Amino acid sequence: MTVTVTRTTVPEHGIVRYASIGGLELEAGGYLPEVTLAYETWGTLNEDGSNAILIEHALTGSTHVTRGDTDEPGWWEQLAGPGAPVDTDRFFVVSINIVGGCYGSTGPSSPAPDGNPWGSRFPLVTLRDSTVAEARLADQLGISSWFAVLGGSMGGARALEWAVTYPERVQRCAVIAVGAASTAEQIAFAQAQTLAIRQDPNFNGGDYYGGPFPEAGLALARRIAHITYRSAAELEGRFGRAPQAPESPLQGECLAERGRYQVESYLDHQGNKLVQRFDANSYIAITEALMSHDVCRGRGTLAETLAASQARFFVAAVDSDRLYFPSQSRELARALPEDVDVHLIEAPIGHDGFLTEIGQLGPQLQRHLSA
């Protein structure tokens, strides 16, 4: 169920709503007219607007952080909800679909001014651009300052950008499982994913709407990404070299007839799941926004950049993460003006532990939000 918002009233909880924020001048020189942002809210904004928390989603995440009026489970149930660390009985919680996405915000599949999908014409949108767009929505909702902004992975990068771009509007900032900038290796992984989509014969330069969808390319991109989201130990312990019964990797006399290992079947499943719910152009747009992540761009050193923020920081990492190494979180914490501990999620799963094991940080986050 979705409803369109035209004024600042928020009676529904966990229901997708839409707001027009006007035209958006972009950091790379492009322009998006009449940008729409999709978002969800939980709880009630108090009279002085001082109890608002923004939760930023990760790469292919949606705005549905936790249950609401629909009772559909969210992706951070352990963190947000009634009585949770982000207590929706106490806080007014907001989650916004990033510009470039495909869950209701303006993105490549949205109509351009000529009525046709943006497709290949969709401009480069950086995380800094998305922050500017979200600030306009916050204005419409009557939120002049966030009690806290938090997120994991790309969501953590978005939270960090908020704390530096609008220092007077962020009181607390939680950055989980991400560093201050995308590294060369992270950009390399990302480029392999976007290239997998672009080389799909059905991609058509990004103008595939109305024709065959580049399913194979998007599924391959997800396979590449998912390998980085899980640890070597988790894949080995879960699958090892076991065949996918009744197939055998050694069956057949030619390569085309061989069967799969279980880990191959698992990656196929992950790729096919994403194809059912995500737009290939949006995957490229958001991935390249994450490639742009560098909170220091045009601002000086990391210490100089972070000194501009007025927020109290919470920093956390996943101990087995091989995409965003804990060392990046430590580098971020060391550059902060105040002494900030790096809290570790202990999870053999790898990077995805920021989702599946976020409950481990519950007591620490609760203290951070109560201080």
Catalytic residue positions?
A: 153, 321, 351
331 close to 179: Cβ distance less than 8 angstroms: yes
Q: For residues 248, 252, 256 and 259, what is the CA-based torsion angle, rounded to 10 degrees?
A: -10
One-letter amino acid at 216 equals: A
Q: Crossing angle of helices 184-198/280-291, nearest 10°?
A: 160
Nearest to 321 by CA among 222, 230, 256: 230
| Cβ 349 vs Cβ 319: under 8 Å | no
Q: Report the alpha-carbon distance of residue 366 to residue 335 in Å, rounded.
A: 24
Cα–Cα distance for residue pair 215/271, rounded to 1 Å: 9
